[in-house]
Chain A
Amino acid sequence: MNLSPSKHAALAALLAAATLAGCSKKEAPPAAEPHAAAPAPAKTGEPLKAGFIYVGPVGDAGWTFAHDKGRREAEAKMGGKVVTTFVEKVPEGPDAERVLRDLVAQGNKLIFATSFGFMDAVTKVAKDNPDVKFEHATGYRTADNLRVYEAKFYEGAYLAGILAGQMTKSNVLGFVGSFPIPEVLRNINAFTLGAQSVNPKITTKVVWVSAWFDPPRETEAAQSLLDQGADVLLQNTDSSAVLQAAERAGKYAFGWDSDMSAVAPKAHLGSCALDWSGYYVKSFNDVLNGTWKPEVTKWGVKEGAVDLVKVASFAPAEARKKVDAARQGLKAGTLAVFTGPIVDNTGKEVLAKGVVADDAWKGAVNFYVKGVEGKVPAGK
């Protein structure tokens, strides 16, 4: 590259001019300063403005796609009483704070941070803006104007496991994991427990890819599981790469986050799909009615937030019937995925006989249940 000083000077002058032009018309007071608590926005008759930040692109067919679908459907159901905006592909970290503050400055009174890694940012911004309500998906910190919500995704994984346990020929299942956090470990365990409920010989192999969305690595991980004899795969990552790998190999797999049946018609046994629209409608109404309060919401099959959808029509009727029975049990509250006795894969009892796991237990899962091979990475 040529480095003539004159060009630096020109570039410098240009940018300096641009910067100065910006400076000269500023002097807006910093919006980050705490405001006095404003009256509830619902009384004015103007629509409620709600903002969403997403970690991925809205078209990823995965986690972000499911949230965005929920946003669109919920907004449509509110019939003009709510107007939403969103920002996609916001990196987890300090950038989120800037985006959240900007959404506040744009007049949004209800803001959803839809990924765990936004926790620190949303906590800080919520503290500075007591008149705005914040909701954080899959987090654990609450405040007067910050509450958390999540889906019992493991119920979907459990239903998938029931089908997998009946479809497998090798009795070996495969799981492509993102990060070994409790949420993902719960899904691996639930998938295995579901399969073992219909087929006690089941073992599960796990490969970690250290990413939520990385199709090439997901493909490699799926291939390595297939090579090790797994013939039904599930993943806690957001692309359809695992399904496609199973399709090519003539094996089975599931969709994750949303209906992925179109991607792999022969391999697709069902999709563990999320439906956030119900929760978003509730949340909009809570703010509009002035009944919003900080709480922890965990919705599952019962509330319609999680389900195994598009169960393959080629699966035997008997197998599908068992999935339906478990779904009914979860809906009626007669079935809980984590009910003792549960033994981890070192033989230690982690939940006593007859005990139904509480939120604290589920939040601290740091082990594989019996039948899952290997060790949790960096687990203590």
Chain B
Amino acid sequence: MIHLEARQSPSRLMGLLSPVLALALTVAIGAAIFFALGKDPGRALAVFLLEPFHGARALAELGLKATPLILCSLGLALCFRSNVWNIGAEGQFLFGAIAGGGLALWITTAGVPMSGPLFLPLLLVAGAAGGAAWAAVVALLRDRFHANEILVSLMLVYVANLFLSWLVFGPWKDPNGFNFPQTVQFASVTEVPRLFRGMRINAGFPLALVAAVAMWLFMSRTYRGMQLQVGGPAPLAARYAGFSSRAAIWTTLLVSGALAGVAGAVEVAGPMGQLTPHVSMGYGFTAIIVAFVGRLHPLGCILSSLLLSAFLIGGELAQTRVGLPSALAGVFQGVLLLSLLGCDVLVQHRLRWRSAP
């Protein structure tokens, strides 16, 4: 039998090297897979790991793809650190998208006079309110009835999805859209301003970076942030110190819901420009992985969002350039996550052989 045994004093150096080791392992295993598939491992790795960063356009696309992941994962990092297991960021994302998209749709169809600089703040408020409202349902049920927030937040994802479907199949359907499930294209004034001409990256990206820095300051420099994180892993100690666990539930869920909602609104009024049943590519779920790969640290979330986005894009590029199947992107992601977690565990623990009792 193999047992895991906590190391007395985990090596600080190995702790530092753990992510590097994980990446090296991933590269090595990836190379082996590519070789086994009869592809040039060097070329395939270059396409996977370097091409997504190569060139201004590629970087712009990377930033665009990472924006919703950063926003969603920031809120989740706060939740998870506070021991609140919100896994329904996807639903909160969708409600932000519905609120932001609804606002843009109303301005488009009612011909409301509007200017871009005025619209962006309205959009952000709408998205944040939509996402926070959906998360508030979770908070309320947890707070009042002690409902398990893991189940409630997950179930509400499906409710949000069906609600969005109902809207775009029903009352919000484009009357001239041949009955297809989508709204009209939003007026151009409602588009989130782009950063550079001819590239899709928009104001959402710097916004996400600012949010990450703000979250970092909140977590590490404020009394409230400290309270939340103490209350998470040690609720009894927190209660002894007079910290309210109810307040922690509400604060973390509302903040993460609002962030996911903003992500949804910016996605809908950004690269999409209309509401369809396919608003999210599962950003809310991917963000859970992102948050953990980023070690639940706001700045780590930025980097892990970029990394996972790069893997996704690299997976596409590998199809056209090297002829690799798309499933390989998923395999690659899985290998990285497994290596990262494995390295962490083995830095903290050691393996011991012991005969079964």
Contacts and interface: CB of A to CB of B under 8 A. Distances in A.
A102 B316 contact: yes
Given A10-B19, A93-B278, A30 B306 contact: no
B278 A3 contact: no
Given A11-B303, A93-B278, A378-B166, A182 B178 contact: yes
Interface stretch (B30-38, B56-64, B128-136, B141-149): B56-64
A7 B278 contact: no
Given A11-B19, A18-B53, A26-B56, A87 B326 contact: yes
Most chain B CB neighbours (cut-off 10 Å) among A5, A8, A117, A182: A8
B300 A97 contact: no
A263 interface: no
B296 A120 contact: no
Most chain A CB neighbours (cut-off 10 Å) among B58, B199, B292, B319: B319
Interface in B108-159: none
Contact of A86 (B181, B267, B292, B319): B319
Contacts of A19: 53, 306
B56 A10 contact: no
Nearest to B22: A11
A5 B15 CA distance: 10
Nearest to A6: B16
Given A1-B295, A23-B53, A27-B56, A7 B18 contact: yes
B154 to A, nearest CB: 17
A20 B73 CA distance: 23
Contact of A8 (B60, B272, B295): B295
A31 B55 CA distance: 11
A95 interface: yes
A291 interface: no
B16 A10 contact: yes
Interface string B212-255: 00000000000000000000000000000000000000000000
A94 interface: yes
Interface string B182-207: 00010000000000101110000000
B325 interface: yes
Contacts of A31: 57
Contact of A179 (B181, B199, B306, B348): B181
A97 B200 contact: yes
Given A90-B316, A363-B178, A6 B15 contact: yes
Interface residues of A, number: 65
A32 interface: yes
B320 A87 contact: yes
Most chain A CB neighbours (cut-off 10 Å) among B55, B162, B344: B55
B320 A106 contact: yes
A2 interface: yes
B306 A15 contact: yes
Contact of B319 (A26, A30, A87): A87
Given A15-B303, A98-B61, A179-B277, A30 B56 contact: yes
A377 B169 CA distance: 8
Most chain B CB neighbours (cut-off 10 Å) among A25, A93, A117: A93
Given A11-B300, A98-B61, A181 B180 contact: yes
Contacts of A58: 325
A25 B323 CA distance: 25
A227 interface: no
A57 interface: yes
Interface residues of B, number: 72
B35 to A, nearest CB: 22
Interface in B259-311: 267, 270-274, 276-279, 281, 292, 294-297, 299-300, 303-304, 306-307
A99 interface: yes
Given A6-B15, A7-B16, A19-B53, A99 B316 contact: yes
Nearest to A98: B61
Contact of B273 (A30, A120, A210): A120
B28 interface: no
Contacts of B49: 18
A120 B272 contact: yes
A92 interface: yes
Interface string B48-91: 01101111111111001100000000000000010000000000
B4 interface: no
Most chain A CB neighbours (cut-off 10 Å) among B49, B56, B321: B56
A122 interface: no
B324 to A, nearest CB: 11
A339 interface: no
B286 to A, nearest CB: 12
B17 interface: yes
Most chain B CB neighbours (cut-off 10 Å) among A3, A57, A85, A365: A3
B150 to A, nearest CB: 17
B276 A93 contact: yes
Contacts of A86: 319-320
Given A85-B320, A182-B179, A57 B273 contact: no
Contacts of B61: 98
A180 interface: yes
B333 interface: no
Contacts of A27: 55-56
Nearest to A34: B198
Interface string A208-220: 0010000000000
B300 A8 contact: yes
B319 A88 contact: yes
A58 B326 CA distance: 10
26 contacts: A1-B295, A1-B296, A2-B344, A3-B295, A7-B15, A7-B295, A8-B297, A10-B17, A11-B294, A12-B303, A19-B306, A26-B58, A27-B56, A32-B57, A51-B320, A86-B320, A93-B281, A94-B200, A94-B267, A95-B65, A98-B316, A102-B317, A117-B276, A182-B178, A182-B179, A363-B179
Those 10 A-B pairs whose CB atoms lie nearest each other, nearest first: A22-B53, A94-B271, A378-B169, A378-B170, A15-B303, A28-B55, A11-B19, A89-B326, A30-B198, A26-B55
